Amino acid sequence: MIPRPACAAFCSRHFYPAPRPVSVWALCLLVWTALFAGTSPVSAHSQLQNSLWVLFESDALRVGVSVTEKEIAVVQGGDPGHLEESQIRAHAGYIREHLFFEANGQTLVGELEQVNPPPDSADPEHRAHVYEFRYPANGVNRVKVRHRMLEEHPYGPGQAWDVSYVIRCKVSGSETVTSELLRAGPGVLLQPGGAESGPSGNGGRTFLSYLEAGEAHILAGYDHLLFVGGLVLGAAGFWAVLRVVGFFTLAHTVTLALATMGWVHLPSAVVEPLIAASIVFVGVENWLWPRRASGAGRAAVAFGFGLMHGLGFAGGLLEAMAGLPPGRMGVALVGFSVGVETGHLMVVIPLFLLLKALRRSQPQDAPHPAWLRAASALVAAAGAFYLVRALLPGEAPV
């Protein structure tokens, strides 16, 4: 999650003044905020959203890459909140080895010019350094960029980091800023001012890029999978499943929209324990009170906790999206929300069909079989495990 002040030095020289952030506490969450005010920051997500700037000059590319202290600690080791200057400087070499710019069939070689320090913040996810590089390249007007960030550092057993960048690029002397969403994989083509210059010139590409990001957000996020799985376990039928998942997605979208407008912001020290607690709540309700779990009140539960899950992701993506041209922010938000719902259906439908087949094998007088309660207990146990990790500094992943 990239704070705008950390990017101001680079943006003010080459792009535009960084906008002033607006952040207020959501009134309905003040009580929960007070309960967790002293907890340590921890991320429950393997997704990291950063910003990357590319300035096309006549003889070079100037590149700014934002990197949080959390990411530096993953690679260099140490405490994310107390990194040595040598570790911060050494990370520039890692960036050059994992971020690639290709033009005219050749990979460009960059030179570090400076590192802009972040503003003071207690949260390593918000303390972002901006690394500035210069890539000599005469007469280049299009370049392919790809990355392999953190691929050799697994987030957890069987789970990789998912690092993405919102790229903003322009030609020196021009006021037109184009944008792309870069995720791990084959990369994207940057061609400022051209017909294929990216989402700023093509709403369809913006929509598809963020749709894919929304799908990845669900399919790669254990918290969403556990929570949605718990909702499906407690649902009495297919329409009940669609109702609770739909309310969850609606709440997720509301959170993203409010965060986009700068009206809602909560630190990860508050959000992450609440996300884990939501998993515990759904699992316990399914396990101990299965009839209540399949009632109409479950939709309200899905909506309420959906707001929390949305806040768990809103900060990083929306801070990175903040530089999108006017009109593209809404397209990106809609695409991301559709991707979230698509990801839900990719999980929910197979799981529901499996549960339906298992229920058919049970006696008619056993609407809540033991295996269903056991599965709910496992969901609650997994949520409790992550809740402990979120509340204990020593147990939190970097």
Task: Please give the pLDDT value at position 33.
Answer: 35
In what side-by-side order are the strands of the sheet with 47-56? Answer: 111-116, 128-136, 60-68, 47-56, 162-171, 178-183
Domain ranges of the chain: 4-26+47-201, 218-395
Asked if 277 and 227 touch (Cβ cutoff 8 Å), the reply is no
69 close to 81: Cβ distance less than 8 angstroms: yes
pLDDT in tens, 373-391: 888 889 888 888 878 877 7
Span 134-161, pLDDT tens digits: 999 888 888 999 999 998 988 765 667 8
pLDDT given at position 261: 67
What's the average model confidence in pLDDT over 100-128?
82
pLDDT above 80: residue 75:
yes
The full 3-state SS of 122-139, as one line of letters, equals CCCCCCEEEEEEEEECCC
Q: How far apart are CA 375 and CA 380, in angstroms?
A: 9
Pairing of strands 106-107, 111-116: unpaired
Residue 2, pLDDT > 70, answer no
Burial class (CB in 10 A: 0-12, 13-18, 19+), 179: buried
Confidence check: pLDDT of 12 > 90 = no
Q: Contact, 76 vs 87, CB < 8 A? A: yes
pLDDT in tens, 15-56: 544 443 333 223 223 333 333 333 333 344 567 778 899 999
Confidence of residue 109 (pLDDT cuts 50, 70, 90): very high
Weakest mean pLDDT among 211-225, 302-316, 319-333: 319-333
| Range 96-105 average pLDDT | 93
Q: Is the pLDDT of residue 89 over 90?
A: yes
